[in-house]
């Protein structure tokens, strides 16, 4: 009789993998794993499903076992300590005899500027990437990352350029800038410093919105000139004021403002501008944006 294989640590070897609420393909997709993200396996259900905790944000859900690749504890430690994020919306990585399309925000384990490793397989990546901690993130960099996702369709639980929800947009943008941000808006509101009035907000602040039951149901990233970038139908830019988000097309408010939080350092308005030399030194080319 074949012995049952146990997976305790694993990595996502595919472009985008759904994380579901229960172990069933009919279950709601509550999040996604992107290529190169690691997980801890908490529980197995037969040979088809496993309950995982994502390393990047501690999000727990169910993933099909054959969509994960087991890794050793030493690989798990190394892959999480040394990696870079892809900054390309979609870019193929090349193995010895195959290609894998990866998305913006995918992780490149042990990336040396040309190659990275996934288990025993080496891949070549020719796009642009950034390693966390290589530079001091600015509001301008945050917004340039966010605008790369413009027109991405809304997808509940999505975290990729093929579909994402509002907290997914916030999480991915800040994650690539080196911040650890929870997966859901109700948890994201717990981090950062509270800004009492929208007049005191700065670009890069997070604005949170409530539904009719006074629950946090939406989040976006503030821009200059009383605008916000968020995922509502698709990733888009709308007007915002002290009441909420105003939809020009509908001539009505679409979201009611609850609170503003700041993750980035507070800077004087005159210095809240692009720091291109710093980005260039880190290997991030301004022309990408």
What's the pLDDT score for residue 269? 61
The pLDDT tens digits of the residues spanning 16-51 come to: 999 999 999 999 999 999 999 999 999 999 889 999
Q: Classify domain 1-131 at the CATH superfamily level.
A: SH3 Domains (2.30.30.40)
As a whole number of angstroms, the longest Cα–Cα distance in the chain is: 70
Nearest to 279 by CA among 165, 160, 143: 143
**Domain residue spans of the chain:** 1-131, 139-270
What's the pLDDT score for residue 282? 36
What's the pLDDT score for residue 134? 81
CA distances from 15 to 36, 55, 57, 162, 285 (A): 9, 17, 18, 11, 24
The pLDDT tens digits of the residues spanning 132-172 come to: 878 788 999 999 999 999 999 999 999 999 999 999 999 99
This prediction has a pTM of: 0.88
CA distances from 240 to 112, 147, 152, 257 (A): 42, 17, 20, 9
Q: Where are the alpha helices (DSSP H) in 158-250?
A: 166-176, 185-188
CB contact set of 265 (below 8 Å; sequence gap of 6+): none
pLDDT range class, residue 275, cuts 50, 70, 90: very low
* Residue 190 in tokens: 């717990």
CATH architecture of 139-270: Alpha-Beta Complex (3.90)
Higher pLDDT pick, 60 / 270: 60
Residue with tokens 């981090």: 191
Element (H, E) at 144: helix 139-148
What's the pLDDT score for residue 270? 58
Residue with tokens 């890794």: 71
CA distances from 168 to 33, 165, 220, 232 (A): 11, 5, 10, 12
Helices H / strands E in the chain, number of each? 5, 23
Partnered with residue 160 across adjacent β-strands are 163
The pLDDT tens digits of the residues spanning 85-97 come to: 999 999 999 998 9
The pair phi, psi for residue 232, each rounded to 5°, is: -145, 95
The pLDDT tens digits of the residues spanning 47-72 come to: 899 999 999 999 999 999 999 999 99
Whole-angstrom distance, CA of residue 281 vs CA of residue 289: 16
Nearest to 69 by CA among 125, 1, 121: 121
Q: What is the mean pLDDT of residues 105-120?
A: 93
When the pLDDT of each residue in the chain is averaged and rounded to a whole number, the result is 90
How many other β-carbons are positioned within 10 Å of the β-carbon of residue 46?
9
Least confident window among 175-189, 220-234, 261-275: 261-275
The pLDDT tens digits of the residues spanning 247-257 come to: 998 999 999 99
């Amino acid at each position: 009789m074949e012995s049952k294989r146990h997976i305790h640590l694993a990595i996502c070897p595919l472009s985008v993998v759904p994380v579901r609420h229960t172990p069933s393909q009919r279950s709601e997709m509550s999040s996604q794993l992107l290529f190169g993200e690691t997980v801890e396996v908490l529980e197995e259900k037969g040979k088809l499903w496993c309950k995982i905790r994502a390393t990047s944000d501690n999000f727990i859900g169910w993933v099909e076992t054959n969509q994960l690749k087991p890794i050793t504890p030493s690989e798990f430690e190394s892959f999480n300590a040394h990696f870079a994020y892809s900054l390309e919306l979609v870019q193929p990585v090349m193995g010895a005899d195959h290609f894998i399309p990866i998305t913006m925000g995918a992780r490149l384990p042990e990336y040396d500027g040309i190659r990275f490793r996934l288990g025993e397989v080496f891949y070549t990546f020719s796009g642009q990437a950034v390693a966390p901690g290589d530079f001091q993130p600015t509001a301008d960099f945050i917004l340039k990352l966010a605008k790369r996702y413009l027109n991405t369709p809304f997808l509940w639980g999505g975290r990729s350029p093929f579909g994402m929800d509002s907290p997914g947009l916030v999480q991915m943008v800040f994650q690539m800038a080196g911040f650890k941000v929870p997966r859901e808006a109700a948890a994201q509101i717990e981090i950062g410093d509270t800004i009492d009035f929208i007049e005191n907000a700065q670009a890069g602040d997070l604005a949170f919105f409530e539904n009719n039951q006074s629950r946090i149901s939406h989040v976006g990233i503030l821009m200059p000139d009383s605008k916000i970038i968020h995922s509502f139908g698709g990733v888009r830019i709308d007007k915002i004021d002290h009441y909420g988000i105003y939809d020009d097309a509908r001539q009505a408010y679409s979201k009611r403002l609850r609170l503003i939080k700041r993750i980035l350092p507070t800077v004087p308005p005159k210095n809240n501008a692009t720091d291109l030399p710093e980005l260039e030194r880190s290997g991030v080319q301004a022309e990408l944006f």
